[in-house]
Amino acid sequence: MLHVLSIIFPVFFIVLCGYVYARFEKPDMQIINRMILQLLVPALVFSVMSSKDFEIAIYSQIALAAAGVVILSGVAAYFVAKLFGYQWQTLVPPMMFRNWGNLGIPLIVFTFGDDALNAAVILFLVGNVVHFTVGVVLMSGRFNVKEFFQTPVIIAMLLGLLVNVTQVQVPAFLLQPLEMIGQAAIPLMLVSLGVRLQHVRWSDLSMAVVGTILGPLVGLSVALLLSVVLGLDDIQTKQILIFGALPPAVVNYMFAERYNLEPEKVASIVLLSNLMSVGVYFALLYVIT
């Protein structure tokens, strides 16, 4: 139990710090969030993927499992929405698109150590690729190829893959500062999550409760099934379970506002799910560690 607390406490304490800070200072996080998404995370992604220690083939199965968790969670959410008479475009995105960056990367790194950063980044990238392709189509009914390839995280991923595949040696004087910039992403993402939670409000408790229960239940079930089908090893299975149990990303609320998909209800799902995730992860980490 002390081991589980040592993993969970730093993550959620930093989130709490961001939340409490926002209560008093009311920071404008738009610039910081843009910096995280356009500079820090791309630097983290490139530095990890261009590293000589990063072997893409090792992560092919867990990447496939991650894509399966995202898509199958959406399929399950669609049928649940139809069953309860909800607008499916409201329920499906938060069930598919989880907090892979702000919470997923730190949790996996805190649980398995720095060696797990490569896997955490792969899971984050898979989720984001699905989000900016399938997710955009689901919410807007269209897909903008140009916008996709102009996304800084996608650009960093492609450049990192190119360097990795061609085995080009990135000079140390360039890679080291990129690694330092990328390392700042993890704590800032957690602080940003805490600040952002300050702005979501309760709305429809019915859908929020259904979404909060459905998310980790479906995510964990699909993750466990795919880990068996794809033959993931013990560590990868535990990592994909953490991935499957993640609460919805706060960005779902922003997308819901952008596409007018009942943003108040999405906000309530995000808020309740993130609050309940403390208990979910305490139980999950107690079992798998």
**What are the pLDDT digits (tens) for 74-112?**
999 999 999 999 999 999 999 999 988 878 998 999 899
Residue 239 placed within a domain: yes
Residue 10 placed within a domain: yes
Residue 140 placed within a domain: yes
Which CA distances in Å does 204 have to 3, 207, 218, 229?
Answer: 36, 6, 21, 37
* Overall average pLDDT of the 208-235 stretch: 94
Residue 165 has pLDDT above 70, yes or no: yes
On average, the pLDDT of the chain sits at 87
Domain interval for residue 274:
2-14+29-180+187-288
Q: Tell me, what CATH number does 213's domain have?
A: 1.20.1530.20
Residue 124 placed within a domain: yes
Residue 221 placed within a domain: yes
Q: Mean pLDDT lowest for which of 35-39, 82-86, 239-243?
A: 35-39
Residue 21 placed within a domain: no
Residue 23 placed within a domain: no
Share of the chain above pLDDT 70, in %: 97
pLDDT at 133: 86
Q: Mean pLDDT lowest for which of 157-166, 170-179, 196-205?
A: 196-205
pLDDT classification of 171: cutoffs 50, 70, 90: confident
Residue 117 placed within a domain: yes
Instruction: Give the highest mean pLDDT range of 31-35, 148-152, 194-198, 211-215.
Output: 211-215
Give me the number of domains the chain comprises.
1
Q: Which residue has the higher pLDDT, 221 or 262?
A: 221
Q: Which residue has the higher pLDDT, 83 or 199?
A: 83
* Overall average pLDDT of the 127-135 stretch: 87
Share of the chain above pLDDT 90, in %: 37
Phi-psi region of 85 (alpha: psi -120 to 50; beta: other; left: phi over 0): left
Q: Mean pLDDT lowest for which of 27-36, 102-111, 218-227?
A: 27-36
pLDDT at 33: 78
